[in-house]
Amino acid sequence: MKNISTKLVSWSLALAAWGSSMAYAAQDLPGGPAVNQLNLHPPVTRIAVEQHWLHWMMLIICTVIFLGVFGVMFYSIWKHRKSQGAKAANFHESVKVEIAWTVAPFIIVILIALPATKVLVAQKDTTNADLTIKATGYQWKWGYDYLNGEGEGLAFISTLDTAHRQMSNSGDVSNAPSDYLLKVDNPLVVPVDKKVRIITTANDVIHSFMVPAFGIKQDAIPGFVRDTWFKAEKIGDYYGQCAELCGKEHAYMPIHVKVLSAENYTAWVAGEMKKLAAKADDPNKVWALADLVTRGEKVYAANCAACHQPNGKGAGPIKALDGSPVVQGPTGDMMHAVLEGRANGAMPAWKQLSDTDLAAVVTFAKNHWSNKTGQLVQPAQFVAARGGKFPEGGAAAPAAPAAEPAAPAPAPAENAPAADSDSGPHQVFFETGKSTLDDKAQAAVKKAAEYWSAHKDGKIALSGFVDSTGNAEKNAELAKERAKAVSKLLTESGIAADRIEMRKPETITAAAGTDQQARRVDITAVQ
């Protein structure tokens, strides 16, 4: 008995210590979950306010029905119990009772359905948005692309803070901050009192975009687009989570939305545009091995280490990179893997990364741990690979020389032709939603015209590309208009109209191509 008592005391003390540590770690988070939260999040949008009202209305109605039904039942059981000499009445159906319990629930359902339908319709009205943002779910992070409105052109990946992930891995959360497992490196920033349309899709598996304070939850499905909207009425930080079980890192892809005043949002956009311009990498730059490895280590930590582990050993079905035949083999094999994915999406495609980041992470993997291949991949090779031209064999790309860097092999940079000495494809890129040729696009068409003017015996095919976002008919029509614009400039540049063949527009799904690739027209030789 003494031993049992001693064990019980020790267990009690341990449980108390654990409870105190958890109580220390758990803190209210403004804009996020609170300790012992029993109600919905405090609403900051009109839709969320309406949802709160519906929640309480239905709770009250259900409570009244519960008390009424069970009150009558318990009263009848108590008042007319057999021990008091009560005798059950003997009667058949009552028309009045039948009508009553049919009509009453019908009226209650209508009273519930009318305001609920009103809120539901308002939830799906994404028209007249001031700002449109595409939220793409990845395993396991969120990508944000500002498509329309102030900030158009901005794009970034939002990943869980590395320190929080390390804290979770260690199991010691005694000093966890209030935003534990909710802090990200790049929050989604929006202006206050502006209607923000969120277009959701996914790159790999089904995710779900949910921010309780805004009253929004929308699935993100690969190859499909869905949309929702919110209009935040209060400045602050608000948090959400992927609400769909999406794999082993499901708990580590939070959503952080920062709502700023109009003035501060404008300043933020200006600052981000400057950063974007400063960070823009020249895809034709020739990098030294050491510089690429240094950059690739950061890219790997942010995007790859969650699955393949920091030591490159992998885990379970996740393949190891350390000593991998794919990593140590031909350069083109690994380039195919990171651009196209593997195992039906188990290894996702990483086309959302820049060409420089892709070159850096591949170079890092090939020259880290026990992989001392000496192979180096230049960004220009990924530019060419996106156009379908992968390097053959396992030869490494040339390293940067010590003195003057040699010019890399021609590769199709953005808004530039894919090649200037062959039949193509010459790629012409357009701005989002537009069919007019800007200066770079005109230069690309004219360069293609120079080649075809020198090769008068061949015919030319024009292929427009679109993505799967929005209305398919409108997308196809936009692709046709873009092809017509290219055709017109080709004829004005001396190419006979009868040499030009217009092809049917091709669709690039969210999982198979980038936004840029879905805004192009290819000029190729007719086979």
pLDDT digits (tens, 9 = 90+) for 487-518: 888 888 888 888 888 877 776 644 344 566 77
Which range of 1-5, 172-176, 232-236, 338-342 scores highest in mean pLDDT? It is 232-236
pLDDT category of residue 36 using cuts at 50, 70 and 90: confident
CB-based contact 515:386 (threshold 8 Å): no
Alpha carbon distance 490, 98 (integer Å): 79
pLDDT category of residue 345 using cuts at 50, 70 and 90: low
> Collapsing DSSP states into helix, strand and coil, what is residue 32?
coil
Token pair 């427009």: residue: 464
pLDDT at 508: 63
Is residue 8's pLDDT more than 60?
Answer: no
Is residue 2's pLDDT more than 50?
Answer: no
pLDDT digits (tens, 9 = 90+) for 274-296: 888 877 777 888 888 888 899 98
Q: Name the nearest CA neighbour of 139 among 218, 221, 224, 202.
A: 202
pLDDT digits (tens, 9 = 90+) for 128-163: 999 999 999 998 899 999 999 999 999 999 999 988
Mean pLDDT of 181-208: 95
Mean pLDDT of 315-333: 84
pLDDT at 298: 87
CB-based contact 363:300 (threshold 8 Å): no
Which range of 19-28, 306-315, 391-400 scores highest in mean pLDDT? It is 306-315
Is residue 176's pLDDT more than 70?
Answer: yes
Which tokens go with 260?
């700023």
Alpha carbon distance 107, 127 (integer Å): 33
- State what percent of residues in the chain have pLDDT above 70: 85
